[in-house]
Amino acid sequence: MSSDRTRAAGVAARGAFPQVRMRRLRQHPLLRDMVRETTLSLRDFILPLFVRAGRQQRVPIGSMPGQFQLSVPAAAAESREAVQLGLPAVLLFGIPERKDAVGSAAWEEEGVVQQALRAIRDAVGDRLLLFADLCFCEYTDHGHCGVLSDRTGRTDVDNDATLANLARQALSLARAGADCIAPSGMMDGMVAAIRQALDQQGFEHVAIMSYAAKYASAFYGPFREAAESAPQFGDRRSYQMDPANAAEALREVALDVQEGADIVMVKPALAYLDVVRRVKERFGLPVAAYNVSGEYSMVKAAAERGWLDERTVAMEILTGIKRAGADMIISYFAKDLARWLAA
């Protein structure tokens, strides 16, 4: 008892005002730089790109100022610019010419992302990592992330039928030169199915970044305009997670790790920083956070009105995501960040 009290008194003596003044370390800008705990490095950023079939070079995305749907050559040019800016990676999404019930354009050799992978590789060689998103919502005419069935009495995505198609899509993207496959459909068993397919065909070197804890989030709104992938009926709550759940996110991640995921992602980022932190602490493997379209567009919209300072707010958000434990961040701000960090 008394020794506890003595110890507590000692701590207080060493650790309290006026001996301790926290502001001492904040007085000089150089000292502030030296004690900074979290720094943003461009080398942790992945730039998402939307590649569109057809001849139009750059189609502006209304709800995402500064972002475009790019033709295959435009995506190659954009990737060259990413390399010049010092970015290490892009993440490709495709907007195909034709959609059908199963999303078969996703696994065509001449699919839009497959073409883009080859064109970008030609343009930049191995100076850029090529991540390819793996999902069906951009490719199906109903806008859901897989094959539909009524087996349960409710029209819903058929998990196991979708797995076979994901494996086909993954192989096709690997053949076209993807360094990393990023399944975003939240199907059970997707990582195992993809890993097995890749390994059987000699692509054991291709990595998997799993959207492991992906929430059914309204923050994806602008993306669905960008990728033309809004569900034509219902919503995604039978496969994406309930925003209220965190223990469930840890189970999702544990399963993906078991199935062979190399990198696990939490998405969106901002409203889920607690999940980012817990995943990093619990599993210790590389964690990606997706700073999604709605998080980007909110800042852009407020900045356009002069309500927020875009650069400072964006850097604060990205620093927060990093501080929470993200090793890498997927962000539409990646190119802006390159300029801000260089300035």
Interface with ligand PBG (CB under 6 A): 133, 135, 137, 145, 184-185, 220, 223-224, 236, 292-293
- Report the greatest alpha carbon distance in the chain: 80
Q: Which residue has the tokens 């189970």?
A: 251
Min dist. Cβ of residue 295 to ligand PBG (A)? 8
Catalytic residue among 99, 214, 322, 335: 214
Q: Looking at beta carbons only, is 124 or 147 nearer to ligand PBG?
A: 147
Contacts of 9 (CB under 8 A, 6+ apart): none
Which residues does residue 47 pair with via DSSP β-bridges, in sequence order?
A: 90
Min dist. Cβ of residue 1 to ligand PBG (A)? 56
Cis peptide before 18 (omega within 30 of 0): yes
The closest residue (CB) to ligand PBG is: 223
Locate 10 and state its tokens.
Answer: 């000692």
Element (H, E) at 203: none
Locate 281 and state its tokens.
Answer: 């602490």
Closest CA to 133 of 156, 109, 161, 112: 112
Q: Looking at beta carbons only, is 220 or 272 nearer to ligand PBG?
A: 220
Whether 335 sits among the annotated catalytic residues: the reply is no
Closest CA to 107 of 56, 147, 68: 147
Q: Looking at beta carbons only, is 137 or 180 nearer to ligand PBG?
A: 137
Where in the chain does DSSP place strands (E)?
45-52, 58-60, 68-70, 89-95, 129-134, 148-149, 156-157, 180-183, 207-214, 263-267, 287-291, 328-331
Q: Looking at beta carbons only, is 12 or 230 nearer to ligand PBG?
A: 230
Q: Looking at beta carbons only, is 124 or 169 nearer to ligand PBG?
A: 169
- The angle subtended at Cα 168 by Cα 78 and Cα 251, nearest 5°, is 85
- Tally the residues of the chain: 343
Whether 214 sits among the annotated catalytic residues: the reply is yes
Min dist. Cβ of residue 173 to ligand PBG (A)? 14
Min dist. Cβ of residue 220 to ligand PBG (A)? 4
Contact indicator for 72, 119 with CB cutoff of 8 Å: yes
Closest CA to 121 of 108, 130, 112: 130
Min dist. Cβ of residue 124 to ligand PBG (A)? 23
Min dist. Cβ of residue 187 to ligand PBG (A)? 11
- The angle subtended at Cα 235 by Cα 53 and Cα 243, nearest 5°, is 110
Count the neighbouring beta carbons within 10 Å of the beta carbon of residue 149.
15
Q: Would you name the residues annotated as active-site residues?
A: 214, 267
